[in-house]
Structure 1
Amino acid sequence: MHEPATSPVMVIDDEAHLRITASQTLELAGYTPHCYDNAEEALSQLPLDFPGVVVSDIRMPGMDGMALLRQLHQRDPTLPVILITGHGDISTAVEAMREGAWDFLEKPFAGDQLVEVVRRGLEKRQLSLENRRLKAELEVQQAALGPRLVGRTAVISRLAAMIQRISQVEADVLLFGETGTGKDLVARAIHERSSRRGKPFMAINCGAVPESTIESELFGHEKGAFTGAVERRIGKFEHANGGTVFLDEIESMPLALQVKLLRVLQERSVERLGANETVPLDLRVITATKVDLKTAAENGDFREDLYYRLNVVTLALPPLRERREDIPLLFQHFAVVAGNRSGLEVPSLDASGIAVLLAHDWPGNVRELRNLAERYVLLGAAFDYRLDALLEGSATDTREPNLPRQVELFEKSLISQALARHRGRVSDVCHQLGIPRKTLYDKLKKHQLKADDYRHNSDP
């Protein structure tokens, strides 16, 4: 649904003077009022995903405000409804809040009271609709293309293009990146975008499996192959036949086992422990490391021949500090996922929250950011949704960008979020940011942003 340049407010009251006064107050505040003298007509005119709030008197002929509230919340439980009560009618106000009213106004009320409660209601409504859109987009992305790379920076756009290209060819891949940069997500993205999607994707962390069992985990064994082998076991490679094997922390694989891995990569077959026959394999092998394997090979900690066999197609994953402009967008994405899973809705980030995100150096990269977003959803209310309080006690690197760079990143992030919210509609972005069109275009050029990139939800 195309959002208007100014947010709509539906006003329902059988008293003409109150409708006129409320309409004038809201127009002066920059909103678009739609006034009705009865609830039945208003209800018939309310569109699905109405992007505004409803303000209604409780005591009206025909359908009263309480009945209207129930009808509205049957349609959309997240729609903010503000009810107007008579002087001293506290019991009715309490009942309204129990029924799910967003807030109430007691007659007579000042114009600034109306504007303030409408403003807060609209903030909640925008958050609800944005979360609803992101949830739907998330489901579509996961259903169609598997895991999603979130970001608009040049480095992440290049990575997304490389993933798309690599997924279409049959080549083993080595992923290199710091802890928490999303190597497992990239491996899954390559698999889901390839012709092997629908076939097994087997992931194993070489650093988390005991050295005594990793050989059996990968290659399998026959019954009686060693003490305790009471039955045949199919290994990860054989189980993934036709699909993809992902070996994380490949630098942790024992040197003796690296010889067998090299043979699997070269011959595309596997031999179970205790077996005399080989099993042919049709699979892609994706490996990942957080260390420089060339240096490890030179130091004798990794087989040099295996390094050169793996180093055919290498993807480097950028740390989060090198794509700071993506941080608010990533945080919002993770918060929506966590909210969807927990059934909770949370307030959108304010300016101070974005500043906290941009100032932090993120030694744990995307994983650390995702954990913070989940804490924000689950525990944020206890900290008044203050990110600095939620981050307190986290490992922090003191290498922060200087003040001009922080201001530049902050400005770019705010503009990017406004473009995303309004689908690249320049007039709406100018209205939200309170700047002339020429100023916005100057800033778009400065930050290398394009409104067209936001018109079709084209996040990589």
Structure 2
Amino acid sequence: MSTPVLLVDDDRQLLRATAQTLELADFAVTPLGSAAEALSELDRDFAGAVVSDIRMPGMDGLQLFERIRAIDPEIPVILITGHGDISTAVKAIQDGAYDFIAKPFPSERLIQCVRRAAEKRSLVLENRRLRDAVRQAEDDFPLIGQTLVMDRLRQTLRQIADTDVDVLVTGETGSGKEVVARLLHGWSRRARGNFVALNCGALPEQVIESELFGHEPGAFTGAQKKRVGRIEHSSGGTLFLDELESMPLSTQVQMLRVLELREVTPLGTNEVRPVDIRIVAAAKVDLADPQQRKGFREDLYYRLNVVSLTIPPLRERSDDIPLLFSYFAERAARRFQRPPPVLSAEILRHLRAHDWPGNVRELSHFAERVVLGLVPPAPATTSPPADRQAGSLPERLERLEAEIIRETLSAHGGNVQETIAALQIPRKTFYDKLQRHGIVRREFIGS
């Protein structure tokens, strides 16, 4: 979809020629003869850039910029100036205008400037959309997502949450299996009871039975006091068994009886105690596959597998990653008392390119590092011309010079003194080249 551009100029001939230049560069141009017409086309959701001449009858370009800033200060405004208006345009940039272009200007200079402004506007709107989506989705964390697979998972959870059906959840490490279990508990009438979690892979075999079933004093060496087991403690609530595939075989036999009879017998006693439990079990492997199930009892698998849920890994729902990152970043910003980071083009590229083997947990830690300033951004780049070999030798040298200046600015975080030293050119020459290439130094500050 082409980026919209509002082009404002009272010179009809120049307006027509400039509009044609931008249309050939694949922009959706709306040519307008006055500032008033431009204002009628704008609102806070405008997705493109505004290019306006400064000198116009009635409302001039600077007044238009002020009115646009009142609508949304983050709409990029590019001012077209004559040589006599350059100082005025510089002041407008200090006040928040995106850039200015002095007449006469080459077509490529205008196209590059509008393209950068459009990219910036796209990021601004993407950050706003993500912040709004995060606020609406807080209750569904970490099932935040707008992909079809996450919509279906949320619907299924709400359908089964208020039933007593046992649930088997599968998913890779860090995908959010325990949080799914907590949602099932929290959305059910069992929410008034206890949510009890046990990682079956974290306890040795000689301890897990006591943890699950409890024991009486003297049941074994060191059992000096009565202990209520996790199963009995979760009666009336939910028992979450994580890493189910790691449960010892002897314990599996006892768990099968608990599931069938809903009763428990603590170690060291013959007393049978009824329990009102709902079990949510989670596994990192597919227990339906005999090769992955290995030593896990088939009958216990089928007894637990009344309802089976699968949490997809992040790499299979990549469109949800920026939204999840924004949620984690805002949460980390509150925790560390830092300002929430803006989703930059560099971070967005990393989010889309990385495979995220650690899933939601890895993404959460990455967001924390970004908030703390521990993730160095990639060098800022601009899209090169489609054909780097196109044009005359002077034109190709101009493009190469602009790329070198941008790369050096990025490498030194926008610091003028360090950039000039690296380029080994006079300060005045440096600023002349910034103006000629349409490079805005403040865009590189902090990069």
Given the superposition, is the C-alpha separation of residues 100 and 216 from structure 1 closer, same or farther in structure 2, using an over 3 Å criterion? farther
Alignment correspondent of 2:344: 346
CA distance in 2, matches of 1:131, 1:25: 30
Q: Is 2:52 aligned against 1:51?
A: no
Alignment correspondent of 1:427: none
What is the deviation of 1:150? 5.4
What SS does the aligned partner of 2:39 have?
helix
Alignment correspondent of 1:407: none
Alignment correspondent of 2:379: 384
Q: Is 2:22 aligned against 1:32?
A: no
Alignment correspondent of 1:106: 102
User: Which structure 2 residues correspond to residues 133-282 of structure 1 after superposition, within 5 A?
Assistant: 133-143=129-139, 147-148=143-144, 151-152=147-148, 166-167=160-161, 169-188=163-182, 190-191=184-185, 203-207=197-201, 243-252=237-246, 265-266=259-260, 268=262, 282=276
What is the deviation of 1:315? 3.8
CA distance in 1, matches of 2:161, 2:97: 50
Given the superposition, is the C-alpha separation of residues 266 and 9 from structure 1 closer, same or farther in structure 2, using an over 3 Å criterion? same
CA distance in 1, matches of 2:263, 2:328: 41
Q: 1:331-385: per-residue Cα shift (whole Å, max 9, x none)? A: 344344456553412228999996x55xx6x654565567668778977762237
Q: Which amino acid aligns with 1:35?
A: L
Q: Which amino acid aligns with 1:329?
A: D
Alignment correspondent of 1:81: 77
Residue ranges of structure 1 left out of the alignment (5+ in a row):
387-460
Task: Kindly indicate whether the alpha-carbon contact (under 8 Å) linking 1:177 and 1:318 is maintained by their aligned counterparts in 2.
Answer: yes
Alignment correspondent of 1:331: 321
Q: 1:138-174: per-residue Cα shift (whole Å, max 9, x none)? A: 4434447972455457xx8886776566546431112
Q: Which has the larger radius of gyration?
A: 2
Given the superposition, is the C-alpha separation of residues 240 and 98 from structure 1 closer, same or farther in structure 2, using an over 3 Å criterion? farther
Q: Is 2:307 aligned against 1:310?
A: no
TM-score for both structures, normalised by structure 2: 0.58
CA distance in 1, matches of 2:237, 2:151: 26
Q: Which amino acid aligns with 1:173?
A: V
What SS does the aligned partner of 2:345 have?
coil
What is the deviation of 1:330? 3.7
What is the deviation of 1:80? 2.1
Q: Which amino acid aligns with 1:83?
A: L
Task: Kindly indicate whether the alpha-carbon contact (under 8 Å) linking 1:57 and 1:84 is maintained by their aligned counterparts in 2.
Answer: yes
Q: Which amino acid aligns with 2:122?
A: Q
Task: Kindly indicate whether the alpha-carbon contact (under 8 Å) linking 2:166 and 2:304 is maintained by their aligned counterparts in 1.
Answer: yes
Number of residue-to-residue matches in the alignment: 368
What is the deviation of 1:52? 2.0
Q: Which amino acid aligns with 1:284?
A: R
Deviates more, 1:55-64 or 1:338-347: 55-64
What is the deviation of 1:114? 2.0
Q: 1:395-446: per-residue Cα shift (whole Å, max 9, x none)? A: xxxxxxxxxxxxxxxxxxxxxxxxxxxxxxxxxxxxxxxxxxxxxxxxxxxx
CA distance in 2, matches of 1:101, 1:263: 72
Alignment correspondent of 2:115: 119
TM-score for both structures, normalised by structure 1: 0.57
Q: Which amino acid aligns with 1:46?
A: L
Given the superposition, is the C-alpha separation of residues 157 and 64 from structure 1 closer, same or farther in structure 2, using an over 3 Å criterion? closer
Given the superposition, is the C-alpha separation of residues 315 and 353 from structure 1 closer, same or farther in structure 2, using an over 3 Å criterion? closer
CA distance in 2, matches of 1:99, 1:306: 69
Given the superposition, is the C-alpha separation of residues 267 and 27 from structure 1 closer, same or farther in structure 2, using an over 3 Å criterion? same
Deviates more, 1:131-140 or 1:272-281: 272-281
Match of 1:11 among 4, 7, 10: 7
Alignment correspondent of 1:22: 18
Alignment correspondent of 1:132: 128
What SS does the aligned partner of 1:123 have?
helix
CA distance in 1, matches of 2:276, 2:64: 62
Q: RMSD between aligned alpha carbons?
A: 5.4
What SS does the aligned partner of 2:96 have?
coil
Given the superposition, is the C-alpha separation of residues 266 and 81 from structure 1 closer, same or farther in structure 2, using an over 3 Å criterion? farther
What is the deviation of 1:96? 3.6
Given the superposition, is the C-alpha separation of residues 127 and 338 from structure 1 closer, same or farther in structure 2, using an over 3 Å criterion? farther
Deviates more, 1:259-268 or 1:92-101: 259-268
Residue ranges of structure 2 left out of the alignment (5+ in a row):
332-339, 382-447
